[in-house]
């Protein structure tokens, strides 16, 4: 086998994007670097008596909409927390946009600049208004308070809550609170949104609205969207579904 053929065989193992080069009319194939890469990630709790992740290898590309599905206790939240740099793996490595998370000393700036989180329980701050809750990720970024307000107003409008922006969270419905959480997750223009069972505490109609909103935000801002769920219907909305069980990826497929 000659060298070139050998290279081609190896390249076939990678996911590739096909682009159309408009200037000369030729098709071009290129191999994009993943935005998120996990290498043999393991996570143990309680001094090793619980093994939540058991050797996860994964590449996620910029602009993808990925769902992570699996039964309760399979390690979904643990996986999402590792990707969001909320916790460290016991072994293995995670790279985001070329940054090795395990080598960074202080990940708080990284999280604030790159990641938007949406949790099942939205964890809004009860004594702050919608406006103030949405601005939280912008604090300590050096942005002027005028610009912070402007940006928060944009996102509050985008999630359809202009009329509620002076309210405190306890005056809002569950769906409205989740919309505030989405506005807050997007306010710092993150490249990645991580949503852990974002519809888990909502009725099905409100849940659909929230999913539509997340998908609309993914389209509009080209943000990479990763949704964790145990619900097949939710998982199937994504472009790609990763199944996990007992802390391992057992299936990874594109939904088209």
Q: 69 vs 124, which CB is nearer to ligand ADP?
A: 69
Question: In the set 37, 67, 77, 229, which binds ligand ADP (CB under 6 A)?
Answer: 77
* Residue 249 near ligand ADP by CB under 6 A: no
- What's the CA gap between 150 and 184, in Å, rounded? 13
- Cβ at position 119, least distance to ligand ADP in Å: 11
Question: In the set 67, 78, 178, 241, which binds ligand ADP (CB under 6 A)?
Answer: 78
Instruction: Report the chain's C-alpha Rg in angstroms.
Output: 20
* Residue 70 near ligand ADP by CB under 6 A: yes
Question: In the set 36, 69, 75, 172, which binds ligand ADP (CB under 6 A)?
Answer: 75
Binding mask 145-184 for ligand ADP (x = CB under 6 A): ----------------------------------------
Element (H, E) at 15: none
Residues 30-49 that bind ligand ADP (CB under 6 A): 45-46
Q: 43 vs 76, which CB is nearer to Mg ion?
A: 76
* Residue 74 near ligand ADP by CB under 6 A: yes
User: In the chain, how long is the greatest CA-to-CA distance?
Assistant: 70
Q: How far is CA 226 from CA 11, 114, 128, 169, 197, in A?
A: 26, 13, 28, 25, 10
Q: 67 vs 77, which CB is nearer to Mg ion?
A: 77
Binding mask 60-89 for Mg ion (x = CB under 5 A): ----------------xx------------
Report whether 43 contacts 247 (CB < 8 A): yes
- What's the CA gap between 90 and 44, in Å, rounded? 6
DSSP for 117-138 reads EE-SS----TTS-HHHHHHGGG
- What's the CA gap between 133 and 181, in Å, rounded? 8
Q: What residue ranges bind ligand ADP (CB under 6 A)?
A: 45-46, 50, 52, 70, 72-78
């Amino acid at each position: 086998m000659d060298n070139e053929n050998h290279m081609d065989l190896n390249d076939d193992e990678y996911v590739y994007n096909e682009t159309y080069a408009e200037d000369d009319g030729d098709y071009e194939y290129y191999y994009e670097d993943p935005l998120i890469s996990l290498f043999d990630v393991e996570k143990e709790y309680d001094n090793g008596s619980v093994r939540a992740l058991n050797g996860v290898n994964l590449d996620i590309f910029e602009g993808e909409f990925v769902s992570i599905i699996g039964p309760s206790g399979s390690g979904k939240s643990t996986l999402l927390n590792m990707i969001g740099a909320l916790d460290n793996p016991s072994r293995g490595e995670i790279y985001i946009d070329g940054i090795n998370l395990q080598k960074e000393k202080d990940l708080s700036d990284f999280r604030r600049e790159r990641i938007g989180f949406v949790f099942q329980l939205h964890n809004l701050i009860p004594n702050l208004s919608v406006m103030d809750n949405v601005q939280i990720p912008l604090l300590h970024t050096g942005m002027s308070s005028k610009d912070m307000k402007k940006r928060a107003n944009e996102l509050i409008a985008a999630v359809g809550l202009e009329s509620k922006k002076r309210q405190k969270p306890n005056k809002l419905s569950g769906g409205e609170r989740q919309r505030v959480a989405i506005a807050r997750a997007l306010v710092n223009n993150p490249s990645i949104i991580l949503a852990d069972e974002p519809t888990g505490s909502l009725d099905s109609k409100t849940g659909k609205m929230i999913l539509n909103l997340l998908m609309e935000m993914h389209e509009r801002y080209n943000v990479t969207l990763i949704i964790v769920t145990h619900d097949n219907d939710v998982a199937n909305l994504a472009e790609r579904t990763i199944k996990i069980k007992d802390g391992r990826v057992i299936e990874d497929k594109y939904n088209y």
